[in-house]
Structure 1
Amino acid sequence: MADVIVIGGGIAGISAAAELARGGADVLVLEMEGQIGYHATGRSAAIFIRNYGNATLRALNAVAEPIFEQPGEISDQPLLSPRGELMVASEEELPILDAYLDGSTGIDRLTGKEAAEIVPILRADRIAGAMIERGARGIDVDRLLQGYARMLRARGGRIVTGAVVTGLSHRAGLWQVKTAQEQHSAPIIINAAGGWADDVSALAGVPRAGLQPYRRSAAIIPTPQGYETEHWPIFGSIAETWYAKPEAGKLMVSPADEDPVEPHDAWADDMVLAEGLHRFEQAVSVSVTRVEHSWAGLRTFAPDRTPVVGFDPRATGFFWLAGQGGYGVQTAPALSRLTAALIAGVAPDVSSEVLAAMEPGRFGLE
């Protein structure tokens, strides 16, 4: 028996488990794959963008940023590296750019010419406006994930991989969690199952939260000949029709697709990828000569695009930690501490408005 069982070994589940173990809880993580961080975590664009997301997510980003900057026990090496984010807009996309800038901090507005001076393959004649967030930084996702896993194990926490949950029931004040191999029990379970979180809730007899996984694809292409890309920022369309990021001497390009899918081990759709690469080519002065590698991951959103975090009002001891969408890695340091605080019954370091925005009962299903 454990104090808390976490279902899901992505960055959300592992970081929350580590913070709970830091507080003295006996924590067990059950991960259905053969390794932690296999799905969304391992396929992240790995960038910290302070102004990314709605007001609730920006509040979480503000809590997470100093933890990334001074990771303490998580890592003895930096988790962030300089990168920057440059977004461009056509004439029709200027309202989207204006909306993004509203309430943002640390962002400079640019002309098309200025944007092309930073990323010289951009076609200045196609840019009506642009912005750069120089403070956006790359995240060492593996170091972050393994650092939390190390913290968890150092405090006696356990991680069981290949543990597909097949049954969930609540009796005598305990959740009984059945896998193909064995059965575990704990008074509290954390549903950190990513794209499978609604399936976990249904297995427990808890109403679904309306979570929808979406596929996001990416491809690695050669660095454009004659250019040094190492110091380029991540760059793309403010309308999220494509983006690109320097990646180990090459370019990662994504069509920024968001196709609703069932939870599965995602792969890139060739047609979607081709369409996205075409949009990229329309915005730059170079051609895509070949794709060296492609993949896809899942981004899972609640209907209002805000994470679902907290105890479910309809099920004793059932805690949601899901719906992080494309923000899961960069919000993990904040949401893990928030989770530990809520479970311990202490005041979290976010406002009551932020808590209310993420409350699992907010969809009128209490």
Structure 2
Amino acid sequence: MTTYDFAIVGAGIAGASLAAELSASGASVLLLEAEDRPGYHATGRSAAFWEECYGGAEIVPLTLASGSYLRERGFLHERGALYIAREGDEELVTQFMQRFVPTGATIQHLGRGDLQKRVPGIRHDWSDAIWEPVCADIDVAGLHAHYLAQAREADAAIECRARVVRLDRRNGRWDIATERGEAFQAAVVVNAAGAWADELAKLAGVKPAGIEPYRRTVAQVRVDPPVPDDLPLVLDIRGRFYFKPESGRLWLSPHDEEPSKPCDAAPEELAVAEAIAQLEEVVDWRVEAVEHKWAGLRSFAADRRPVYGYAPDVEGFAWFAGQGGFGIQTAPAAARLGRQLLLGEERDAMTEKLDAELYSPARLD
């Protein structure tokens, strides 16, 4: 039986990007996916955008470090983003600027006049905004396929319908058993299992990292008047909603975070209704139909930072999880950093400004 250098569990954007990076180094890589196809859960349901402030100030370095890779390969399409604020939210606007200007994010304060130009039909009590001109839509499917193709070209093995049910460490390697009875061996198991990350850790006898899944709902709606093609991504500065145009329709979310067990997430009607009600508080558009709705799970450690690197308590087990809703926009830098941590490599131009200690599993002890 082949003993792989690394067995990565989970073939969403986290596992796929890390598999591409590790296999490019010459390491032998096995990528195990529980579902019929990679990216079925969070990655395949993402309304992803590359937005410099998304995820908080400690995530900005990962986002900025990923920007050139995504832009140069055509995965970003310029959109722009507005964090909008009502009368009475002036202190929140000030705090936002104070928090993110030092990070190097490109942001500027806009008043009511500029806000009206960018969001036609916005109601009169929305008076302030923060503008992010470099925010962009991400070609999620294209980026995910890119990393899977890179991994295959470097001879990584990809196994679907391979849900891991047992992990045993013997003589410096892992014996890995799947639900269908297959057996694999690897020197290192990498936990890129998303919402199932803590469950996988328990199989290996590793202390869970406290990674909790939360449901996020998105609806595609048709509105009157039609959505302007140049409408930016619009986010509430209080974190209650966001919406963006997509192929002549509007993708709308109540920015919900409902705790959930790891599962095939389904949208809640109440969440969709709340999103529509919030939209009606922002603009004078009329929602004509809800054409599609879906939900995905976003998984976070307690401090909302991702978990990258070797577990401190069990040899040969590494974490690459807890990336919440920002895992796609940070994928290039995160995967490069993950490779360097797992192989003991020096930082390069992409990762030289990243503080790996912020994301270390050791912080969670």
* Interval containing the TM-score (normalised by the shorter chain): over 0.9
Please point out which of 84, 88, 92 is paired with 1:88: 84
The 1-side partners of 2:253 and 2:246 are apart by 12
Task: Answer with 11-20 or 102-111: which moved more.
Answer: 102-111
Match for residue 188 of structure 2? 188
| 1:107 and 1:133 in contact (8 A); partners too | yes
Please point out which of 60, 84, 92 is paired with 1:58: 60
Equivalent AA in structure 1 for residue 306 of structure 2: P
Match for residue 357 of structure 2? 356
The 2-side partners of 1:299 and 1:41 are apart by 10
The alpha carbon displacement at 1:46 in A equals 1.8
Match for residue 3 of structure 1? 5
Match for residue 258 of structure 1? 257
Equivalent AA in structure 2 for residue 217 of structure 1: T
Equivalent AA in structure 2 for residue 193 of structure 1: A
Match for residue 146 of structure 1? 145
Match for residue 211 of structure 2? 211
SS in 1 for 2:330: helix
The alpha carbon displacement at 1:299 in A equals 0.7
The alpha carbon displacement at 1:284 in A equals 0.8
The alpha carbon displacement at 1:55 in A equals 2.9
The 2-side partners of 1:319 and 1:228 are apart by 45
SS in 2 for 1:215: strand
The alpha carbon displacement at 1:224 in A equals 2.5
The 2-side partners of 1:229 and 1:34 are apart by 37
| 2:11 and 2:38 in contact (8 A); partners too | yes
| 1:115 and 1:130 in contact (8 A); partners too | yes
C-alpha deviations, 1:94-139, integer Å up to 9, x for none?
Answer: 333322222333112111232121110211x111311110100111
Match for residue 288 of structure 1? 287
The alpha carbon displacement at 1:236 in A equals 2.4
Matches for 1:216-365 after TM superposition, within 5 Å:
216-225=216-225, 227-349=226-348, 350=351, 354-363=355-364, 365=365
The 1-side partners of 2:358 and 2:352 are apart by 10
Match for residue 79 of structure 1? 75
Match for residue 116 of structure 1? 116
Task: Answer with 80-89 or 62-71: which moved more.
Answer: 62-71
| 1:112 and 1:126 in contact (8 A); partners too | no
The 2-side partners of 1:69 and 1:290 are apart by 34
C-alpha deviations, 1:42-87, integer Å up to 9, x for none?
Answer: 111221012222333111112111111223xxxxxx1111111111
Query: Identity rate of aligned residues, in percent?
Result: 38
The alpha carbon displacement at 1:161 in A equals 0.7
Equivalent AA in structure 2 for residue 55 of structure 1: A
SS in 1 for 2:224: coil
Equivalent AA in structure 1 for residue 150 of structure 2: M
C-alpha deviations, 1:181-210, integer Å up to 9, x for none?
Answer: 311111111100000000000111111111
The 1-side partners of 2:59 and 2:117 are apart by 31
Please point out which of 15, 18, 21 is paired with 1:19: 21
Indicate the RMSD between aligned Cα atoms, in angstroms. 1.4
The 2-side partners of 1:82 and 1:174 are apart by 46
| 2:107 and 2:132 in contact (8 A); partners too | yes
Match for residue 75 of structure 1? none
The 2-side partners of 1:55 and 1:275 are apart by 28
Specify whether residues 64 and 202 from structure 1 end up closer, same or farther in structure 2 by C-alpha distance, changes over 3 A only: same
Match for residue 135 of structure 1? 134
| 2:61 and 2:353 in contact (8 A); partners too | no
| 1:168 and 1:178 in contact (8 A); partners too | yes
Match for residue 157 of structure 2? 158
| 2:311 and 2:362 in contact (8 A); partners too | yes
| 1:245 and 1:252 in contact (8 A); partners too | yes
Equivalent AA in structure 2 for residue 160 of structure 1: E
Equivalent AA in structure 2 for residue 357 of structure 1: L
SS in 1 for 2:59: helix
SS in 2 for 1:361: helix
Equivalent AA in structure 1 for residue 355 of structure 2: V
The 2-side partners of 1:55 and 1:236 are apart by 17
Equivalent AA in structure 2 for residue 10 of structure 1: G
SS in 2 for 1:292: strand
The alpha carbon displacement at 1:228 in A equals 4.9
Match for residue 74 of structure 1? none
C-alpha deviations, 1:248-278, integer Å up to 9, x for none?
Answer: 1111111110111111111111012111210
The alpha carbon displacement at 1:353 in A equals 6.9
Match for residue 36 of structure 2? 34
The 1-side partners of 2:145 and 2:174 are apart by 28
SS in 1 for 2:332: helix
C-alpha deviations, 1:292-346, integer Å up to 9, x for none?
Answer: 1100011111100000111011111111001101100011101111111112111
The TM-score, its normalising length taken from structure 2, stands at 0.94
